[in-house]
Amino acid sequence: MTRPVTARVPAKVNVQLAVGGRRPDGFHDLANVFLAVGLHDEVTATPAETLRVTVEGTDAPHVPTDHTNLAARAAVALAARHGIAPDVHLHIAKDIPVAGGMAGGSADAAGALLACDALWGTKTSLTELLALCADLGSDVPFSLVGGAALGRGRGELLTPLETGGTFHWVFAVADGGLSTPAVYRECDRLREETGAGATVDDIPDPEPSEALLTALRTGDPAALAAAVTNDLQPAALSLRPALAETLRAGAEGGALASLVSGSGPTCAFLAKDAEAAQDVATALAASGTCRTVRTASGPAPGATVITP
């Protein structure tokens, strides 16, 4: 019998999320600087008579186990590419917060692609896998490659970035999630409310910060802290005003930078070093402003098969 295959996949934090205007297709062009961090989901693929998904972990009740699950959709897409049936049991051990702006669902999709490819012996090229990832979602390609990268287009067009050191992060996980489409709609609404407009004709094309790219390359946390930005943060705070208290608690706890991670509601805090990260985590845990607190460092490797 074919042995199960497990893939481990990291979470991400957006150290820059520059959002362009709304395109005619409803999407937004991005300059999205991703950093993979050491919180992981593990996706195990086992031969089965039909496709099924099971999930374990604290947030497991909030993860769909039908064919809408992004990992299930990934298995279906890979099987269709090779003309085979997607008969596999996908078991997801979740450690990345659900609906938290840290690409947990995207990580599961990338993990499913890698695990199923190894299980089925389909030997799909990286180029093909990245194309499948891009079809599944904007963050899925980065979940596959990890490290640090600049995402263009919807975030799926990746350019690897050099990093010169390890960056230490603290993540404050909120109760409940935030819908990414809802956050983008609120971003558009807030822009229109100011009179600036919200379409590609109104908003300049997004560009990565040279200061931020230099800080990543040199491994300088203080310089990175001065350059991190998230254009979706005002929208996330508008939809979830309580996040402002979380951001304040992390800053008062000694974080070099405090920001909403992606579309939220997880908040990310950059610390000087591992010891400072523990101090920030302690302050956040005592603040009562979040459900739980996690520490992690990056960059972390992308999706990796951890069992033969």
Report the catalytic residues. 12, 139
- Residue 99 known to bind ligand: yes
The single-letter DSSP state of residue 215 is H
Place of tokens 């979740």: 94
Token pair for 220: 């300088």
- Residue 7 known to bind ligand: no
3 state DSSP class of 75: helix
* Alpha carbons 269 and 44: distance in angstroms, whole number: 31
Helix, strand, coil % in the chain, rounded to nearest 5: 35, 30, 35
Of 12, 11, 25, 30, nearest in space to 231 by CA: 30
Contacts by 218-222, CB closer than 8 A, 24 or more apart: 218/164, 218/165, 219/163, 219/164, 219/165, 219/166, 219/167, 220/164, 220/165, 221/165, 221/167, 221/168, 221/256, 221/270, 221/271, 221/272, 221/273, 222/256, 222/272
- Residue 106 known to bind ligand: yes
3 state DSSP class of 103: coil
**Which residue intervals of the chain are DSSP H helices?**
70-82, 104-120, 126-136, 140-145, 180-193, 210-218, 221-227, 233-239, 243-252, 274-287
- Residue 63 known to bind ligand: no
- Residue 183 known to bind ligand: no
User: Which residues contribute to the annotated binding site?
Assistant: 97-107
User: Which residues contribute to the annotated binding site for ATP?
Assistant: 97-107
